[in-house]
Structure 1
Amino acid sequence: MRGLVVRLFLALALPALLVAVWWLASDGSTNVYWPPLRTVLAAFPDVWTGERLRGDVLPSVVRLAGGYAAAAVAGVALGTVIGTHRRVRAVCEPVLEFLRAVPPPVLVPVVMLFAGIGDAMKVAVIASGCVWPVLLNTVEGVRALDAVAAETARSYGITGAARLRHLVLPSAAPQIFAGLRQALSVGIVLMVISEMFAASNGLGFTIVQFQRGFAIPDMWTGILLLGLLGFVLSVVFRLLERRALGWYHGLRASSRRSP
């Protein structure tokens, strides 16, 4: 119980401190672009009603989920193939280095030419940015497969899909989840950027509309909501990661306890 209280305190201490500093620094501000935090918080429930949550937040989350899921599947599948086969890696590595160096927001106009201006474009933009952390971490995780474990599996005749399921993917899972965690933050950024182009709803679209209409407190509420959304998704991801990698965290904990 004490450990839970300590972890909760450590998790909330810094956010509470930052909110307090923001409150004190902005209190009494007359700058139209920097309204007091109390004004922003007072406008929050009036702006983000149930109707607006359904009309703007829900479509954004659905697009993020679609692009993120597509990137996760493609990244793990391609990363496993590239990491397993040395010749494939030698052929693909120069192209991968070139493509990952291109900032995903730059691809928005290009994607619009092929996918139009609907949800498909936004999902494609999110997927195009999220795939790289997953792909590259999967490649490195597969390449780092323990030689003794690989030789043991070969000796017992474990090959093909069984080797992939019981050896390769579990061994690379910690690094794969590290890439998925990075991709989540990238996906939120690209979700907002994609909705700033030829959109009619979504968080990015709404925040830009507030800014263009000089509804500055409302704009700040959208930014706060984005932060809260990122925090909630991070917590959910961490819970899923701990459940999926329970064996890994238990192994690390036992190794720390051993002399």
Structure 2
Amino acid sequence: MRAALLRLLLALGLPVLLAAVWWAVSTGSTDVYWPPLRTILETGREVWTAERITTDVVPSVLRLLIGFTAAGVLGVALGVVIGTFPRVRAVTEPVLEFLRAVPPPVLVPVIMLFAGIGDTMKVVVIVSGCVWPVLLNTVEGVRAVDGVLAETARSYGVGGLARLRHLVLPSASPQIFAGLRQALSIGVILMVISEMFAASNGLGFAVVQFQRSFAIPEMWSGILLLGLLGVLLALVFRVVERRALAWYHGLRRSRRTS
């Protein structure tokens, strides 16, 4: 109990300190572009009502979840194939390196030509950036499967889907989740960028609209809401990761204590 309380205090300490410094420094500010934090919070409470959350926040989160899920499935599937077969890896590696080097925001105008300006475009933009950390981490995780375990599975005739399910994916899962964690932060960024182009709703759209109409406190409140959304998604992901990799974390703890 005491350890959990200490971890909570350590996690909240820096954000509370930064918020206190921001509050103190910005108090009494008359700069239109740097309003006091108190004004931003009061404005945010008025702006982000239940109706506004339904029309802007919910669509953004849905696009992010759909794109993140699609990127995860695609990245793991391709990563398993590429990591398992050296010849496939040798053929695809130059192309993958080329595509990975292209920044996803640059592809937004191109994607708009093929997918239009609706939700499909925004989801495709998110997938185009989120798939790479998942794919590359999956490839490395599959390649790092313990040789002794692989030989043991081969000796006992474990192959096909059974080998994939009971050996390859469990062994690669720590690196797969590392890729998914990176992809989540990239997805939030691309969610906002995609909503800045020809959009009619979403958090990115709202922040840009506030900026263009010089509603500066409202703009800052949207930025703060994006940060809080990122923190919440990270916490949810951490809970899912700990449950899915409970065996892995338990093994690491046992190694440290032995």
Q: TM-score range by the shorter chain?
A: over 0.9
User: How many positions carry a matched residue from both structures?
Assistant: 258
Question: What is the TM-score with the length of structure 1 in the denominator?
Answer: 0.99
Question: What is the TM-score with the length of structure 2 in the denominator?
Answer: 0.99
Following superposition, which runs of at least 4 residues in structure 1 exceed 3 angstroms of deviation?
A: none
Aligned-partner Cα distance in 2 for 1:102–1:20: 40
Q: Partner letter of residue 114 of structure 1?
A: F
Aligned-partner Cα distance in 2 for 1:141–1:4: 31
Asked if 1:248 is matched to 2:248, the reply is yes
Q: Partner letter of residue 132 of structure 2?
A: W
Aligned-partner Cα distance in 1 for 2:23–2:253: 40
Q: Partner letter of residue 227 of structure 2?
A: G
Aligned-partner Cα distance in 2 for 1:82–1:27: 56
Structure 1 residue 198 displacement after superposition: 0.3
Q: Partner letter of residue 45 of structure 1?
A: R
| RMSD of aligned residue pairs (Cα, Å) | 0.4
Q: Partner letter of residue 51 of structure 2?
A: E
Asked if 1:185 is matched to 2:185, the reply is yes
Correspondences of 1:57-206 after superposition (within 5 Å): 57-206=57-206
Structure 1 unaligned segments of length 5 or more: list them.
none
Aligned-partner Cα distance in 2 for 1:45–1:34: 18
Aligned-partner Cα distance in 2 for 1:9–1:135: 36
Q: Secondary structure at the match of 2:157?
A: coil
Aligned-partner Cα distance in 1 for 2:18–2:102: 34
Q: Deviations over 1:152-185 (max 9, x none)?
A: 1001100000000000000000000000000000
Structure 1 residue 21 displacement after superposition: 1.2
Structure 1 residue 122 displacement after superposition: 0.2
Structure 1 residue 26 displacement after superposition: 1.1
Aligned-partner Cα distance in 2 for 1:180–1:116: 27
User: Percent of aligned pairs with the same residue?
Assistant: 76
Structure 1 residue 24 displacement after superposition: 1.2
Q: Partner letter of residue 188 of structure 2?
A: I
Aligned-partner Cα distance in 2 for 1:18–1:132: 33
**Aligned twin of 1:217:** 217
